[in-house]
Structures are given as structure tokens and as C-alpha cells.
Chains A and B, each alone.
Chain A
């Protein structure tokens, strides 16, 4: 069955990398996946968005409409990207960076960036914490598969920290 995700935030937060890892994990489980992205001309600080579609069938049109899951890592992204969520969908917000929740029934707030800073040591790992959160909530890909995909994608000397970040995100959702 087709599932659509939108990961949004600001350039430099790593939402595109998180989306790539999720799509890679889906592909390694034999599913079909497409990942696309849009961002401003700035390298850092501009709006950044990446979309992933996972399906058993071949995917043609790559644009997400009525996503099942939206992750927002900034207030601006939350305000901009939640509105076309599927009514049964889930909006996942960074608890500290998105102070004002949009009007939507299914919202899960997780202190994503705070966990990265306080428990892993750098805000840089927020995207992998977010990936752990997504793994738990979406259940689209096996957590072990995501672990393998993260280990494959990140620089070798950061694997341990990234595994910690991933687990923190996974455990942060009850």
C-alpha cells in the first residue's frame, strides 16, 4: 500500500539525508521508493523539504499530495507543510523548534533537536533522532533495516553516535 511522507525544516538540519536513508531502507526491503526534494538557493537556512513515497507498485508521479506523515523541524515548515495532510495522518513536530502547534488532530511532539544536543552532543544528529522517531511512528520499514541504512550512509567514525541518536528517537515515542 502506498505511503507518503514529507520531511521539512531548514537547510542544514539534514531532512534530505534522513529522507534518503528512509528510502534506501525501504528499497533494501524490496519495496519501491522515490525520494525527491526541494530547497531554496541558499546552502544553509533556507526552507528545505524532502518527500518519500513507498509502495509495492512502481511509482511514476513523484510529488506527494495528502501525505500520511509530515515531519516539521521548524515553525515555518510546520505552518507551511501540514495543511494537506491526510485526515488520518500524523504531524510530527520538534518540540522546541515548533512552539505553536498547527490546528490538526494527530500531533506528536518530540524534543528531537534537544535530544541530539543533550544526549549525543550535537544538533547535527537531530535528523537521525528524527529518523528514529519516524521509524517508530510510521512502521514502514523494519527498525533493524533502518539501522543498517544509517550505518551504511554516515561516515564510519560517526556510526556509534548515529546509532545512539537513532535509538533515542525510537525510544522517545511511546
Chain B
């Protein structure tokens, strides 16, 4: 198949469809609207359902319900809408309902700058609902990767029965570029009960990977779904032991697979004395900044977080041992830099290169930060 021009948001829709998403509930908002627009055309053609709800909260509610009936589901929004979805993201974590939420970030807080790029929702993606909860956050830097990570997000939601956030930004969401998409992708099927009711099936009894095989509604099993802490039967229990075990399992089902989930793209690292850490659309500019600095003889490497959460603790700790300084470039006031500093644990200098003025980085701005951390300034 030859290359064609495609937008990041359109690639998310293509990826979701390829991964088996057959239900989208949403409410339009810039800069995410093209995801809904694309799926409104595509889903009916494959027997799927597109529904525009009355608001973002209902959009989240409707995908939870659809997922419980066995559909693979998606919703998409931007900051203001994601804030509204937060309560039900927690419900998805507690009730272990597979859902994918796309956030195409724009400048916030509140209505902010509706059409301008930002990466200000990083920590919201991790902690945007109350209570300890499980989540996976992925962030693409290209149109092709928007497709690939949409597929992965759907697969992870199914495999771990957790909400997954596909953390886009306006840069990649609205960018059009050459792309070739694969005809087929690997799909993680919906988990199903391994034993019958007669054999003592319990919907929230975890498998060996700590993830339960919750039956879909309408397939003959009795299931009870609640946001209250519940035991393996799915019914609420006011017990310290059950609460402790439940919260631990919700985290550990992700933690034990973290090495597999965490993906980091590294280039020019073999001789690097310094490194630029970035993610999403900003990484495109960071890449040019690294190329330019290397042309000037600065031994700087490129490190791009593809998986944002679970955070790449081990990889950043190793990086901090190897290099003298790390520049963290992000389109916000400083968020992922705190994670990098925590993982680096003082083993090297960590310098923030932040921008929050509606415009994307220019390579020179990141180069200046590289020069500062490497003492070439």
C-alpha cells in the first residue's frame, strides 16, 4: 500500500477501528473533533455504533455500559471534557471496565486556548480521578504512531481491564503527514469466563495475571458491577482485608507487566554525555534540536517517552547514571520533569525546558537548554 496524507486524529480513528472498537460515545471539542467525525462515518459501515451524547459525562457513561456488554469502546475529548469524565474514569478503574479515552491536549486550565497546542494534562492523565487507581497512558509523536498506539491502547484496556488514556496533543492530532498503515494488527480479545456458573464462577476472581475475567452482560452469567470496593463476587464488602487486597491488585496487575508496557524511543545514545527527554509532538522538535546540536559536536542523545505511565523509572535511572545532564522539554509549566527528577534521584543534573504560550517549541529553544546543561552556553 502506498503512502497517503493523513491526520493524527484520523489515524486514531483508523487504529481504534482496526483494534476492534465498535462503539464510540462522545461530544465534540477542538482539537479532538476529527476523531469523532471519522468514526461517525466509519463505525456504521462495520456494524458499529456512533453516538453523540448530550455532554462529556454521558459520553463516558455510555462507553462504560457498552463495554460491559462486550463491545470494545472509545471516547475522545480535550481538557475541558476530560475534566468532566474524571469521575467515571475512576469508576472504570474500580469496576475494571476496559475503556480507552483519547485526550487531544490544548491549552488549559478551564476553556484555556481552545485551538492552541499544550502538553499540560500529563499529571491529570495519571491522577485525574480520586483515589488510588490503575491507569496506562500512551503518547504518540507521529501520525503512524497515533494509529499504532490507538491499537495498543485498546489492547491494553482489554488485557488489563483498566482505563487507558491515549494522550495526544494538538500538534500531532491536527498534523497531516505521509503514512502507510498496516492491513492487519494484533488484537487482544475480550477476556471471557473460563468456568461455568455451576463450577463456581466469580466475576472478579483474578486470573494468574491478576486480571479478572468479568463476563459480558447478556451472556448468561450473573454479574454485579459497582464502584464500591468489592470482593471476588463483585458485591461490596466493608472489610479492611478485601479493600487492601483489591487496591493492591489493581496496581500490581499493571506493575507486574510494566517492563512490557513501558516503551521508550532512544537515538544517538551510544556516545551521549547528555540527553533530551521529551514526548508527543514536542519530541519532533527535540529530535531536530538534537540533530543540530550533534552537528555542532555536542554529544547529546534523544530519549522519547512513548509510554508516559507507568513511568519509565528504571530506564531514566539508568540514563541518569550514564549522562551528565538531562534536558526535559515539555509544552507546559513543568510536569514530567518531576517524574524524571524522581527517577534520576540526583545522579545527574535535570533541567526543565518549558513552554506555555500557545506556540510549539522551535529547535533553537531546546538547543539553548542543551547548551546550558552541557556548559556550552
Contacts and interface: CB of A to CB of B under 8 A. Distances in A.
Interface of A: 20, 23-24, 27-28, 30, 32-41, 59-63, 65
Given A24-B5, A61-B287, 17 more contacts: A27-B4, A33-B177, A33-B178, A34-B175, A34-B177, A35-B5, A35-B175, A38-B116, A40-B115, A41-B30, A60-B287, A60-B288, A61-B284, A61-B362, A61-B363, A62-B175, A62-B284
Contacts of A28: 4
B362 A65 contact: yes
5 contacts: A24-B5, A30-B3, A60-B288, A61-B362, A61-B363
B285 A59 contact: no
B168 to A, nearest CB: 14
Contact of A20 (B5, B115, B363): B5
Interface string B167-190: 000010011111000000000000
Contact of A38 (B5, B115, B288): B115
Given A41-B114, A62-B171, A23 B285 contact: no
Nearest to A24: B5
Contacts of A63: 285, 359-360, 362
Contacts of A41: 30, 114-115
A126 B359 CA distance: 29
Number of contact residues on B: which range applies? Answer: 20 to 34
Interface string B271-295: 0000000000100110110000000
A38 B281 CA distance: 15
Nearest to A21: B5
Contacts of B281: 62
B281 to A, nearest CB: 8
Interface string B156-176: 000000000000000100111
Contacts of B30: 41
B177 A35 contact: yes
Contacts of A34: 175-177
Contacts of B178: 27, 32-33
A60 B176 contact: no
Enumerate the 8 nearest inter-chain pairs by beta-carbon distance, A residue then B residue, closest first. A35-B176, A61-B288, A60-B284, A34-B177, A24-B5, A61-B285, A27-B5, A60-B287
Contacts of B4: 24, 27-28
Contacts of B287: 60-61
A37 B5 contact: no
A142 to B, nearest CB: 16
Interface in B97-135: 114-116
Q: Specify which of B114, B175, B178, B285 lies most central, judged by the most chain A CB atoms within 10 Å of its CB.
A: B178
Q: Specify which of A30, A32, A38 lies most central, judged by the most chain B CB atoms within 10 Å of its CB.
A: A38
A32 B142 CA distance: 13
Nearest to A38: B115
B174 A37 contact: yes
B284 A36 contact: no
B5 A60 contact: no
A140 to B, nearest CB: 14
Given A38-B115, A41-B115, A23 B284 contact: no
Contacts of A65: 362
Nearest to B117: A38
B373 to A, nearest CB: 20
